[in-house]
């Protein structure tokens, strides 16, 4: 039920359901996270989320890695009380010495 709803035509239960759906949408804000992906010496992909301290995971395939990093972010956000560190990804450089 998107758009305007004529509340006078809804039962109380229907009105509450519409209200709950709209509140859930507002409360579930989409947040974007930068994920750094590397490959280790054993061939595993390793994902790190710089804005969430300690948030990292690994997998054999990129598909599995993306699923796992979403799960890792959700775990890291639980109890975090919005304590993410605001960082803007500027770029990645490789330096040879």
Domains within the chain, CATH numbers bracketed: 31-81 (3.30.160.250)
Residues of the chain where predicted confidence (pLDDT) is lower than 50: 1
Closest CA to 33 of 96, 93, 80: 80
pTM, whole model, 2 decimals?
Answer: 0.62
Please tell me the predicted confidence (pLDDT) of residue 8.
66
DSSP-based three-state secondary structure for 73: helix
Please tell me the predicted confidence (pLDDT) of residue 1.
46
Please tell me the predicted confidence (pLDDT) of residue 84.
61
Please tell me the predicted confidence (pLDDT) of residue 73.
93
Cα–Cα distance measured from residue 69 to residue 45, given in angstroms and rounded to the nearest whole number? 11
Q: Are 73 and 52 in contact (CB under 8 A)?
A: yes
Please tell me the predicted confidence (pLDDT) of residue 38.
96
Please tell me the predicted confidence (pLDDT) of residue 12.
82
């Amino acid at each position: 039920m998107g758009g305007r709803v004529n509340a006078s035509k809804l039962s109380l239960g229907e009105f509450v359901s519409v209200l709950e759906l709209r509140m859930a949408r507002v409360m579930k804000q989409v947040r974007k996270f930068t994920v750094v992906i590397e490959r280790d010496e054993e061939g595993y992909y390793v994902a790190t989320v710089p804005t969430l301290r300690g948030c990292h995971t690994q997998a054999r395939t990129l598909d599995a890695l993306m699923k796992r990093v979403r799960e890792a972010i959700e775990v890291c956000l639980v109890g975090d009380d919005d304590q993410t560190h605001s960082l803007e990804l500027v770029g990645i450089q490789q330096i040879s010495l």
